[in-house]
A and B are shown apart, each in its own frame.
Chain A
Amino acid sequence: GEDVEQSLFLSVREGDSSVINCTYTDSSSTYLYWYKQEPGAGLQLLTYIFSNMDMKQDQRLTVLLNKKDKHLSLRIADTQTGDSAIYFCADTGSARQLTFGSGTQLTVLP
């Protein structure tokens, strides 16, 4: 079945850029998503990218998609302490449900 992988932890200094990476195996993905989960909360949809796009920018967020390598990344510019959270990538693949990665814990250091 589909497999979506992420590194577990990332630490950055406040004001720096953060880059969270994700790889997936199903090449039939139509949409790929990034979700944010703050402590004690559910997942919140941050942004998405359609599979025929290479890049999408939304304020401080930049999503890059490399379909050849099946690699998705989320760049957060000027990272703030409020960005500390768990970030999940997810894709539709050929399944009828989303497949989620294992999540990346982003810690922003002052």
Chain B
Amino acid sequence: EADIYQTPRYLVIGTGKKITLECSQTMGHDKMYWYQQDPGMELHLIHYSYGVNSTEKGDLSSESTVSRIRTEHFPLTLESARPSHTSQYLCASSVGGGVYGYTFGSGTRLTVV
């Protein structure tokens, strides 16, 4: 049973719209991450947070922004969606690796038309 929840699962939206992808976890993990996944499978880290009010950009440049006002919540926002933003977005959380690794949400499949 997933302890990290992403909504919506699927989203089709028009170009120029503002969207927020939600991610919440009930495990009390300090660390949270957003990945963008290509159709070709590869995962790209776009944002991460090590605690409340702490956010960093990842390896892949992204036009999205994130916030971390509460431990359990790590939403990702696109101010103006474009077709190039079409992708699968995966949220994850961790206590810092170790034997538990990361726990992933089920993902949001975003299509911008």
Contact = CB atoms under 8 A, between A and B. Distances in A.
A103 B97 contact: no
Contacts of A92: 97
Given A100-B43, A102-B42, A103-B42, A42 B104 contact: yes
Contacts of B103: 45
Interface in A32-87: 33, 35, 40-45, 48, 86
B101 A42 contact: no
Contacts of A102: 40-42
Contact of B104 (A30, A44, A96, A103): A44
Given A35-B104, A42-B104, A42-B106, 13 more contacts: A8-B41, A31-B99, A33-B101, A35-B101, A40-B109, A41-B107, A44-B104, A45-B100, A45-B103, A97-B33, A103-B41, A103-B42, A105-B41
